[in-house]
Amino acid sequence: MSSLIEHFIAGTTYSEPRTRTGAVHNPSTGEEIARCAYGSFATVDHAVMVAKEAGRRWGRASHAARQAVIYKLRELMIANLDTLAEAIGREHGKTIPDAKGELGRAIEGIEFACNAPHVAKGEYANNVGGDIEVFSMRRPIGVVGCITPFNFPIMVPAVMMTMAVAVGNAIVWKPSEKVPSAALEFARLWKEAGLPDGVFNVVQGDKEVVDAILEHPGIAGVSFVGSTTVGEYIYQKGTSHNKRVAAFTGGKNHMVVLPDADLEAAASAFVSAGFGSSSQRCMAVSLLLPVGHETAERLRDLIIPKIQALKVGPYNDASADFGAVVSRESRTSVERAISRCIEEGGELVIDGREIEIPGHPNGFYLGPTLFDRVTTDMHLYKEEVFGPVRGIMRPTSFEEAIEITNMHEYGNGSVIFTRDGKSAHRFMMEVESGMIGVNVPVPLPSAYFNFGGLRRSKFGEGHLYGPDAARFYTKIKTVSQRWPEPDDRALPISLAFNPSA
């Protein structure tokens, strides 16, 4: 009988007498390994009630007290690296080295949250007029609802929530129901780090829990990472309930390669950035745009053997380059995208649909797949395919490559490989993407810079991490004050609109 993965509220596992559940699978084997409890509005309501009370006390805690918890969380993350990586790999399917890479970025985000007292400082002006001084202060917004995806079970929550906690908020978190165990491991580490019970809460579930978070009047802000369709829904519904919302959504990231680039380096970069984690990354390179026929032919010849050498295997196979996709439904969706591209005239160069992994016949595996001569009217160009299917487009000029990049609805990440500084500068200035790489295949910024796309890759003005995250999770109060001398006479009556007099 499968074990039940439950909620975490008020510092302990929380269960309900009657609950819906959903299956949790090991993608490497295809077997059901657990059931996940699905919460309801009542579950969210209970979590919010707990979070509001705990959050009031936590919001009044000193910066030093908060930072002590963040420092301890960092130490615990490092000490529990193997346990966390195993939980990620078992339910997501990514390899253990890939999971540990994710955890490294999570730790980087936690380290930046140690700077919360600095990035959340207000402003001050002395004697703006009539001995009045004005200052602003940032205060926590209250209870934050966090909704996170399956593809980074720890990194996204860590970089999203640690700053929120560091500046004094409480959390109600709905992780992906596909990867619920990692959420409980993360909650356990927060408690062990000394975070007061009730500040960090996990409500497992599906759309019912999402809607409860969006509608609940006790939740002040919502942060989301996931698909564009869902992200737009969350932004529109959340803001209609007077919440601040930051939704980080899909990507279709283009890699432009100019003729002067180091093509060997560009080929390796494309394969690494395109197929890592079974291409289940919003920052993965989706489309390769070599400029000119000769560049395209040379680059294609370099890429094909590198892709063919990739090994697919279970998450705990130390020699595997990447693992299974997260679910049977995901595999079917990716296979459908491959068939559609063939029907639309794409040239199938490498077909990964018939891959077999010895000893794992029921795993959700797909081999790396490559198309050439992808055009802007094909769905492989238009849609984000969350699986190991990449494409080559053939712009004839640098101008056309920029146009192809900018005409897409997404603007998450775009990269260029070149030795020419002027072309790189033009790319940085003209391409409408939130994160740009120059000879860097995955332009995921360090935690002390803001993360977020443009166009339909982001809804709302917040950022996932970086200094803007502290601003998103705080509200500003501005104070004007005057302290008269004890023997000053009362101010004369004046009806003029001149408050600084």
Q: What is the pLDDT of residues 222-251, one digit of tens each?
A: 999 999 999 999 999 999 999 999 999 988
Mean pLDDT value of segment 158-187: 96
DSSP character string of 238-291: HHHTT-EEEEE----EEEEE-TTS-HHHHHHHHHHHHHGGGG--TTSEEEEEES
- Express the helix, strand and coil content of the chain in percent, nearest 5 each: 40, 20, 40
Residue entry with tokens 């395919």: 385
Question: Average pLDDT of 291-304?
Answer: 97
Q: Which residues sit opposite 312 in a β-bridge? A: 322
Rounded to 10 degrees, what is the CA torsion of 267, 273, 279, 282?
-140
Same domain, 22 and 70: yes
Indicate if 275 and 242 belong to the same structural domain: no
238 and 337 assigned to the same domain: no
Is residue 83 very low, low, confident or very high in pLDDT (cuts 50, 70, 90)? Answer: very high
Residue 1 has pLDDT above 70, yes or no: no
Q: Which helix (H) or strand (E) holds 32?
A: strand 32-38
Q: Is residue 448 part of a domain?
A: no
Any idea what the Cα angle at residue 410 is, between residues 470 and 444, rounded to 5°?
Answer: 50
Q: Using one digit for the tens of pLDDT, what is the confidence trace for 435-452?
A: 899 999 988 888 788 888
Dihedral angle computed from the Cα positions of residues 351, 353, 354 and 356, in that order, rounded to the nearest 10 degrees = 110
Q: Which two tokens stand for residue 125?
A: 């002006």
Q: Please count the structural domains in the chain.
A: 2
Q: Which domain holds residue 42?
A: 3-249+457-479
Which residues lie below 8 Å from residue 4, measured CB to CB, with a gap of 6+?
A: 15, 21, 34, 35, 36, 37
Please tell me the distance from the alpha carbon of residue 24 to that of residue 29, in angstroms, as a whole number: 12
Q: Are residues 281 and 217 in the same domain?
A: no
The answer to whether 257 and 263 have CB atoms below 8 angstroms apart is: yes
Q: What is the torsion angle, in degrees rounded to the nearest 10, for the CA atoms of residue 419, residue 425, residue 430 and residue 431?
A: 50
Q: Mean pLDDT, to the nearest integer, of 348-370? A: 95
pLDDT value at residue 466: 83
274 and 307 within one domain: yes
Pairwise pLDDT comparison (204 vs 129), residue with the higher score: 204
State the pLDDT at residue 153.
96
Percent of the chain predicted with pLDDT > 90: 83
**Mean pLDDT computed over every residue of the chain:** 94
Res 499: pLDDT = 54
pLDDT, position 500: 52
Mean pLDDT value across residues 120-127: 90
Q: How far apart (Å, rounded) are the C-alpha atoms in residues 124 and 107?
A: 33
Phi, psi of 191 (to 5 degrees): -65, -45
Handedness of CA 203, 205, 210, 215 (dihedral sign): negative
Same domain, 286 and 378: yes
The CATH code of the domain that includes 415 is 3.40.309.10
Q: Is residue 498 part of a domain?
A: no
- On whether both 385 and 333 belong to a single domain, the answer is yes
Same domain, 319 and 398: yes
447 within a domain of the structure (yes/no): no
Bridge partners (DSSP) of residue 287 are 254, 391
Structure-block tokens of residue 410: 């997404």
Higher pLDDT, 240 or 461: 240
Same domain, 221 and 85: yes
Confidence of residue 78 (pLDDT cuts 50, 70, 90): very high
End-to-end, the C-alpha distance of the chain in Å comes to 75
The CATH number covering residue 9 comes to: 3.40.605.10
The answer to the question of residue 500 being in a domain is: no
Q: Which residue in 290, 158, 282 sits closest to 228, CA to CA?
A: 282
The two structure tokens encoding residue 127: 């004697």
Note whether 412 and 276 are same-domain residues: yes
Q: What is the pLDDT of residue 245?
A: 95
Both 287 and 338 in a single domain?
A: yes
The catalytic site residues sit at 282
In a domain, 396, yes or no: yes
Task: Print burial letters for 73-110: b (CB count within 10 Å at least 16), e (below 16).
Answer: bbebbeebeeebbbbbbbbbbbbbebbbbbbebbbbbb
Longest C-alpha distance within the chain, in Å? 90
Mark whether 149 and 245 lie in a shared domain.
yes
Give the global pTM.
Answer: 0.93
- Residue 450 falls within a domain, yes or no? no
Any domain includes 499: no
Does 418 map to a domain? yes
pLDDT > 90? residue 33? yes
